[in-house]
Structure 1
Protein backbone atom coordinates (compact mmCIF):
# COMPACT_ATOMS: atom_id res chain seq x y z
CA UNK A 1 0.00 0.00 0.00
CA UNK A 2 3.06 2.24 -0.21
CA UNK A 3 3.84 3.68 -3.61
CA UNK A 4 7.27 3.78 -5.19
CA UNK A 5 7.43 7.58 -4.85
CA UNK A 6 6.85 7.28 -1.09
CA UNK A 7 9.55 4.60 -0.77
CA UNK A 8 12.01 6.78 -2.65
CA UNK A 9 11.00 9.80 -0.57
CA UNK A 10 11.53 7.99 2.75
CA UNK A 11 14.97 6.87 1.54
CA UNK A 12 15.99 10.36 0.40
CA UNK A 13 14.72 11.97 3.61
CA UNK A 14 16.64 9.46 5.74
CA UNK A 15 19.82 9.78 3.69
CA UNK A 16 19.82 13.59 3.88
CA UNK A 17 19.10 13.53 7.63
CA UNK A 18 21.80 10.93 8.33
CA UNK A 19 24.42 12.88 6.39
CA UNK A 20 23.77 16.03 8.40
CA UNK A 21 22.70 14.76 11.84
CA UNK A 22 24.51 11.48 12.54
CA UNK A 23 27.96 13.03 12.03
CA UNK A 24 29.72 14.28 15.16
CA UNK A 25 31.05 17.41 13.46
CA UNK A 26 29.86 19.42 10.51
CA UNK A 27 31.73 18.57 7.35
CA UNK A 28 32.51 14.97 8.27
CA UNK A 29 31.56 12.36 5.71
CA UNK A 30 28.62 10.00 5.98
CA UNK A 31 28.28 7.36 3.29
CA UNK A 32 24.80 5.79 3.18
CA UNK A 33 24.38 2.62 1.11
CA UNK A 34 21.12 0.62 0.82
CA UNK A 35 21.43 -3.04 1.86
CA UNK A 36 19.45 -6.06 0.72
CA UNK A 37 19.76 -7.75 4.12
CA UNK A 38 17.92 -6.55 7.21
CA UNK A 39 20.32 -8.34 9.59
CA UNK A 40 21.51 -6.20 12.52
CA UNK A 41 24.75 -4.29 11.97
CA UNK A 42 25.66 -3.94 15.61
CA UNK A 43 24.80 -5.32 19.02
CA UNK A 44 22.72 -2.27 20.00
CA UNK A 45 19.70 -0.51 18.57
CA UNK A 46 18.28 2.93 19.13
CA UNK A 47 14.64 3.04 18.06
CA UNK A 48 12.64 6.14 17.16
CA UNK A 49 9.15 6.43 15.75
CA UNK A 50 7.51 9.11 13.63
CA UNK A 51 3.74 8.67 13.44
CA UNK A 52 0.92 10.33 11.54
CA UNK A 53 -2.68 9.50 10.89
CA UNK A 54 -1.57 7.74 7.67
CA UNK A 55 1.57 5.83 8.72
CA UNK A 56 4.06 4.85 11.39
CA UNK A 57 7.77 5.08 10.51
CA UNK A 58 10.15 3.19 12.78
CA UNK A 59 13.81 4.11 12.50
CA UNK A 60 16.21 1.57 14.00
CA UNK A 61 19.81 2.73 14.23
CA UNK A 62 22.32 -0.10 14.79
CA UNK A 63 25.72 0.40 16.44
CA UNK A 64 28.52 -1.43 18.21
CA UNK A 65 29.67 -0.26 21.63
CA UNK A 66 33.32 -0.40 20.62
CA UNK A 67 36.29 1.92 21.10
CA UNK A 68 36.02 3.47 17.62
CA UNK A 69 32.32 4.36 17.99
CA UNK A 70 32.77 5.56 21.58
CA UNK A 71 35.67 7.79 20.56
CA UNK A 72 33.64 9.23 17.66
CA UNK A 73 30.45 10.03 19.61
CA UNK A 74 31.59 10.41 23.22
CA UNK A 75 35.22 11.51 22.92
CA UNK A 76 36.80 11.98 26.33
CA UNK A 77 33.49 12.58 28.14
CA UNK A 78 32.35 10.18 30.81
CA UNK A 79 28.88 9.71 29.30
CA UNK A 80 27.59 6.37 28.07
CA UNK A 81 27.72 5.77 24.31
CA UNK A 82 24.04 4.78 24.18
CA UNK A 83 23.02 8.07 25.81
CA UNK A 84 25.06 10.12 23.33
CA UNK A 85 23.92 8.06 20.37
CA UNK A 86 20.26 8.55 21.36
CA UNK A 87 20.80 12.30 21.08
CA UNK A 88 22.22 11.96 17.57
CA UNK A 89 19.38 9.63 16.61
CA UNK A 90 16.88 12.14 17.94
CA UNK A 91 18.46 14.90 15.83
CA UNK A 92 18.34 12.67 12.76
CA UNK A 93 14.67 11.82 13.25
CA UNK A 94 13.89 15.45 14.04
CA UNK A 95 15.33 16.41 10.66
CA UNK A 96 13.26 13.68 9.00
CA UNK A 97 10.18 14.91 10.84
CA UNK A 98 10.74 18.44 9.50
CA UNK A 99 10.71 17.16 5.93
CA UNK A 100 7.72 14.88 6.43
CA UNK A 101 5.60 17.56 8.12
CA UNK A 102 5.37 19.36 4.76
CA UNK A 103 3.27 16.42 3.53
CA UNK A 104 1.75 15.18 6.81
CA UNK A 105 0.97 18.03 9.23
CA UNK A 106 -0.20 15.72 12.03
CA UNK A 107 3.16 14.12 12.91
CA UNK A 108 4.36 13.04 16.32
CA UNK A 109 7.80 11.74 17.24
CA UNK A 110 8.76 9.37 20.06
CA UNK A 111 11.65 9.71 22.42
CA UNK A 112 14.49 7.33 21.58
CA UNK A 113 14.88 4.06 23.41
CA UNK A 114 17.58 1.41 23.36
CA UNK A 115 17.21 -2.30 22.64
CA UNK A 116 19.50 -5.19 21.85
CA UNK A 117 19.90 -6.12 18.21
CA UNK A 118 18.13 -9.44 18.82
CA UNK A 119 14.89 -7.40 18.79
CA UNK A 120 15.32 -6.25 15.17
CA UNK A 121 13.70 -9.31 13.53
CA UNK A 122 10.52 -8.61 15.52
CA UNK A 123 9.82 -5.63 13.28
CA UNK A 124 8.43 -8.21 10.85
CA UNK A 125 5.70 -8.97 13.42
CA UNK A 126 4.27 -5.52 12.65
CA UNK A 127 3.65 -6.71 9.07
CA UNK A 128 5.27 -3.59 7.60
CA UNK A 129 4.41 -2.36 4.15
CA UNK A 130 8.00 -1.27 3.53
CA UNK A 131 11.37 -2.13 5.06
CA UNK A 132 14.74 -0.80 3.90
CA UNK A 133 18.14 -1.30 5.55
CA UNK A 134 21.27 0.79 5.11
CA UNK A 135 24.98 0.60 5.92
CA UNK A 136 26.52 3.86 7.07
CA UNK A 137 30.20 4.78 7.27
CA UNK A 138 31.00 7.94 9.21
CA UNK A 139 34.25 9.82 8.72
CA UNK A 140 35.62 6.78 6.79
CA UNK A 141 35.93 4.85 10.06
CA UNK A 142 32.76 4.34 12.12
CA UNK A 143 30.28 1.72 10.90
CA UNK A 144 26.56 1.97 11.67
CA UNK A 145 23.41 0.40 10.32
CA UNK A 146 19.88 1.66 9.92
CA UNK A 147 16.53 0.08 9.18
CA UNK A 148 13.44 2.01 8.10
CA UNK A 149 10.13 0.23 8.70
CA UNK A 150 6.86 1.79 7.52
CA UNK A 151 3.42 0.52 8.49
CA UNK A 152 0.20 1.94 7.07
CA UNK A 153 -3.44 1.00 6.82
CA UNK A 154 -4.21 3.31 3.90
CA UNK A 155 -2.59 3.81 0.48
CA UNK A 156 0.41 6.08 0.86
CA UNK A 157 2.30 7.93 -1.84
CA UNK A 158 4.01 11.32 -1.84
CA UNK A 159 7.03 12.97 -3.42
CA UNK A 160 9.60 15.11 -1.63
CA UNK A 161 11.10 17.85 -3.73
CA UNK A 162 14.51 17.32 -5.26
CA UNK A 163 15.74 20.48 -3.50
CA UNK A 164 15.09 18.83 -0.12
CA UNK A 165 18.55 17.26 -0.14
CA UNK A 166 20.27 20.64 -0.33
CA UNK A 167 18.14 22.40 2.29
CA UNK A 168 19.35 22.85 5.85
CA UNK A 169 17.68 20.15 7.90
CA UNK A 170 17.81 21.81 11.28
CA UNK A 171 16.58 18.94 13.42
CA UNK A 172 15.68 21.33 16.21
CA UNK A 173 13.86 20.06 19.25
CA UNK A 174 10.12 20.60 19.11
CA UNK A 175 8.05 20.81 22.26
CA UNK A 176 4.50 19.55 22.30
Structure 2
Protein backbone atom coordinates (compact mmCIF):
# COMPACT_ATOMS: atom_id res chain seq x y z
CA UNK A 1 0.00 0.00 0.00
CA UNK A 2 3.05 2.30 0.17
CA UNK A 3 4.75 2.97 -3.16
CA UNK A 4 8.52 2.97 -3.63
CA UNK A 5 8.38 6.77 -4.09
CA UNK A 6 6.55 7.16 -0.77
CA UNK A 7 9.02 4.87 1.06
CA UNK A 8 11.94 6.86 -0.30
CA UNK A 9 10.18 10.12 0.60
CA UNK A 10 9.58 9.06 4.21
CA UNK A 11 13.26 8.11 4.47
CA UNK A 12 14.57 11.38 2.99
CA UNK A 13 12.23 13.43 5.20
CA UNK A 14 13.40 11.55 8.31
CA UNK A 15 17.08 12.02 7.38
CA UNK A 16 16.63 15.76 6.86
CA UNK A 17 14.80 16.11 10.18
CA UNK A 18 17.50 14.18 12.06
CA UNK A 19 20.27 16.29 10.54
CA UNK A 20 18.48 19.58 11.21
CA UNK A 21 17.00 18.89 14.66
CA UNK A 22 19.18 16.32 16.42
CA UNK A 23 22.60 17.66 15.42
CA UNK A 24 23.72 20.77 17.33
CA UNK A 25 24.64 22.57 14.10
CA UNK A 26 24.30 22.07 10.36
CA UNK A 27 28.12 21.89 10.06
CA UNK A 28 28.44 19.03 12.51
CA UNK A 29 28.83 15.49 11.13
CA UNK A 30 25.62 13.45 11.22
CA UNK A 31 26.04 9.95 9.82
CA UNK A 32 22.86 7.97 9.11
CA UNK A 33 23.19 4.35 7.96
CA UNK A 34 20.51 1.68 7.51
CA UNK A 35 20.25 -1.03 10.16
CA UNK A 36 19.62 -4.65 9.38
CA UNK A 37 16.38 -5.48 11.11
CA UNK A 38 15.87 -9.14 11.87
CA UNK A 39 12.55 -10.53 10.68
CA UNK A 40 10.19 -12.02 13.26
CA UNK A 41 10.86 -15.71 13.79
CA UNK A 42 14.38 -15.64 12.34
CA UNK A 43 16.89 -17.96 13.98
CA UNK A 44 19.49 -16.27 16.14
CA UNK A 45 22.60 -17.49 17.84
CA UNK A 46 23.66 -16.37 21.33
CA UNK A 47 26.58 -14.37 19.87
CA UNK A 48 24.39 -12.24 17.60
CA UNK A 49 23.46 -8.76 18.76
CA UNK A 50 19.91 -7.76 17.95
CA UNK A 51 20.36 -4.28 16.40
CA UNK A 52 16.93 -3.13 17.51
CA UNK A 53 17.81 -3.61 21.19
CA UNK A 54 21.29 -2.09 21.32
CA UNK A 55 19.99 1.02 23.15
CA UNK A 56 18.21 0.90 26.50
CA UNK A 57 15.45 3.46 25.91
CA UNK A 58 13.29 4.94 23.19
CA UNK A 59 11.21 8.07 22.70
CA UNK A 60 8.05 7.33 20.70
CA UNK A 61 6.37 10.06 18.67
CA UNK A 62 3.34 9.68 16.43
CA UNK A 63 2.01 11.51 13.39
CA UNK A 64 -1.48 10.49 12.28
CA UNK A 65 -3.63 11.29 9.29
CA UNK A 66 -6.71 9.85 7.66
CA UNK A 67 -4.45 7.82 5.33
CA UNK A 68 -1.72 6.60 7.71
CA UNK A 69 -0.23 6.46 11.19
CA UNK A 70 3.52 6.99 11.52
CA UNK A 71 5.58 6.18 14.61
CA UNK A 72 9.02 7.74 14.94
CA UNK A 73 11.06 5.83 17.52
CA UNK A 74 14.32 7.44 18.64
CA UNK A 75 16.61 4.97 20.43
CA UNK A 76 19.05 6.32 23.03
CA UNK A 77 21.17 5.58 26.09
CA UNK A 78 21.70 7.91 29.03
CA UNK A 79 25.49 7.53 28.98
CA UNK A 80 27.93 10.35 29.75
CA UNK A 81 28.70 11.15 26.09
CA UNK A 82 25.04 11.36 25.06
CA UNK A 83 24.03 13.32 28.15
CA UNK A 84 26.85 15.85 27.72
CA UNK A 85 26.06 16.28 24.01
CA UNK A 86 22.34 16.96 24.43
CA UNK A 87 22.25 18.61 27.85
CA UNK A 88 25.15 20.92 26.97
CA UNK A 89 24.65 24.23 28.75
CA UNK A 90 21.23 23.23 30.11
CA UNK A 91 22.53 21.20 33.06
CA UNK A 92 19.60 22.45 35.16
CA UNK A 93 17.16 20.39 33.01
CA UNK A 94 17.01 16.60 33.27
CA UNK A 95 18.53 14.83 30.24
CA UNK A 96 15.28 13.07 29.32
CA UNK A 97 13.39 16.35 29.27
CA UNK A 98 15.93 17.87 26.86
CA UNK A 99 16.04 14.75 24.67
CA UNK A 100 12.25 14.48 24.48
CA UNK A 101 12.06 18.17 23.43
CA UNK A 102 14.60 17.54 20.66
CA UNK A 103 12.72 14.42 19.58
CA UNK A 104 9.54 16.48 19.43
CA UNK A 105 11.33 19.08 17.25
CA UNK A 106 12.55 16.28 14.96
CA UNK A 107 9.02 14.87 14.65
CA UNK A 108 7.68 18.39 14.10
CA UNK A 109 10.10 18.85 11.18
CA UNK A 110 8.81 15.60 9.66
CA UNK A 111 5.25 16.80 10.21
CA UNK A 112 6.00 20.10 8.42
CA UNK A 113 7.36 18.26 5.37
CA UNK A 114 4.43 15.82 5.28
CA UNK A 115 1.87 18.67 5.50
CA UNK A 116 2.77 19.50 1.90
CA UNK A 117 1.23 16.20 0.81
CA UNK A 118 -1.25 15.37 3.58
CA UNK A 119 -3.26 18.39 4.80
CA UNK A 120 -4.70 16.93 8.01
CA UNK A 121 -2.01 15.67 10.37
CA UNK A 122 -1.89 15.37 14.13
CA UNK A 123 1.10 14.78 16.41
CA UNK A 124 1.05 12.97 19.74
CA UNK A 125 2.82 13.82 22.95
CA UNK A 126 6.20 12.05 23.07
CA UNK A 127 6.76 9.37 25.68
CA UNK A 128 9.78 7.36 26.85
CA UNK A 129 9.69 3.55 26.95
CA UNK A 130 12.12 0.69 27.33
CA UNK A 131 13.69 -0.39 24.03
CA UNK A 132 12.37 -3.89 24.76
CA UNK A 133 9.03 -2.75 23.28
CA UNK A 134 10.47 -2.09 19.79
CA UNK A 135 10.20 -5.68 18.46
CA UNK A 136 6.45 -5.48 19.13
CA UNK A 137 6.06 -2.86 16.36
CA UNK A 138 5.60 -5.80 13.97
CA UNK A 139 2.28 -6.53 15.73
CA UNK A 140 0.95 -3.32 14.18
CA UNK A 141 1.44 -4.96 10.73
CA UNK A 142 3.23 -1.90 9.33
CA UNK A 143 3.56 -1.30 5.62
CA UNK A 144 6.94 0.27 6.26
CA UNK A 145 9.33 -0.62 9.08
CA UNK A 146 12.91 0.59 8.78
CA UNK A 147 15.71 1.57 11.16
CA UNK A 148 18.89 3.62 10.92
CA UNK A 149 21.92 4.10 13.15
CA UNK A 150 22.68 7.78 13.72
CA UNK A 151 26.11 9.02 14.80
CA UNK A 152 26.40 12.69 15.77
CA UNK A 153 29.76 14.44 15.93
CA UNK A 154 31.54 11.09 15.54
CA UNK A 155 30.76 9.86 19.06
CA UNK A 156 27.09 10.19 20.01
CA UNK A 157 25.20 7.07 18.99
CA UNK A 158 21.44 6.96 18.51
CA UNK A 159 19.08 5.07 16.26
CA UNK A 160 15.76 5.84 14.61
CA UNK A 161 12.98 3.48 13.60
CA UNK A 162 10.20 4.52 11.28
CA UNK A 163 6.97 2.52 11.39
CA UNK A 164 4.19 3.48 8.97
CA UNK A 165 0.77 1.81 8.90
CA UNK A 166 -1.19 2.83 5.80
CA UNK A 167 -5.00 2.93 5.80
CA UNK A 168 -5.10 3.80 2.09
CA UNK A 169 -2.65 3.58 -0.80
CA UNK A 170 0.20 6.08 -0.27
CA UNK A 171 2.08 7.48 -3.23
CA UNK A 172 3.93 10.79 -3.07
CA UNK A 173 7.36 12.02 -4.09
CA UNK A 174 8.65 14.56 -1.57
CA UNK A 175 10.89 17.36 -2.73
CA UNK A 176 13.30 17.51 0.19
CA UNK A 177 15.98 20.18 0.13
CA UNK A 178 19.04 20.30 2.37
CA UNK A 179 18.28 23.91 3.32
CA UNK A 180 17.86 24.47 7.05
CA UNK A 181 14.20 25.16 7.88
CA UNK A 182 13.49 27.08 11.07
CA UNK A 183 9.70 26.75 11.05
CA UNK A 184 8.35 25.47 14.30
CA UNK A 185 11.17 26.94 16.35
CA UNK A 186 10.45 29.51 18.99
CA UNK A 187 11.95 32.91 18.24
CA UNK A 188 12.79 35.35 21.00
CA UNK A 189 12.70 39.08 20.39
User: Does 2:86 correspond to 1:73?
Assistant: yes
Residue 64 (structure 2) pairs with residue 51 (structure 1)? yes
Q: CA RMSD in A?
A: 1.6
2:182 alignment counterpart: 170
Q: Indicate which of 72, 80, 94 corresponds to 2:108.
A: 94
Quote the Cα distance in structure 2 between the aligned partners of 1:128 and 1:160.
Answer: 20
Structure 2 unaligned blocks of 5 or more: 38-50
TM-score (norm 1): 0.92
Off by >6 Å, runs of 4+ in structure 1: none
Give 5+ residue unaligned stretches, structure 1.
none
CA contact (8 A) 1:41 1:145 kept: no
- 1:171 deviation in Å? 4.8
TM-superposed CA distance for 1:27, in Å, is: 2.4
1:151 aligns with 2:165: yes
Contact map agreement 1:50 1:108 (CA 8 A) in 2:
yes
Q: Deviations along 1:114-143, whole A, 9 cap, x unmatched?
A: 001011111111111110100000011100
State the SS of the aligned residue for 1:103: coil
Q: Does 1:27 align with 2:27?
A: yes
Larger radius of gyration: 2
State whether structure 2 residue 73 is matched by structure 1 residue 60: yes
Q: Which residue is 2:40 aligned to?
A: none
Distance, in Å, in 1 between the alignment partners of 2:183 and 2:82 is 22
CA distance in 2, matches of 1:93, 1:41: 22
* Structure-2 residue corresponding to 1:126: 140
Q: Distance in 2 between matches of 1:170 and 1:58?
A: 23
- Partner SS state of residue 146, structure 2: strand
SS in structure 1 at match of 2:8: helix
Q: How many residues in Structure 1 have an aligned counterpart in Structure 2?
A: 172
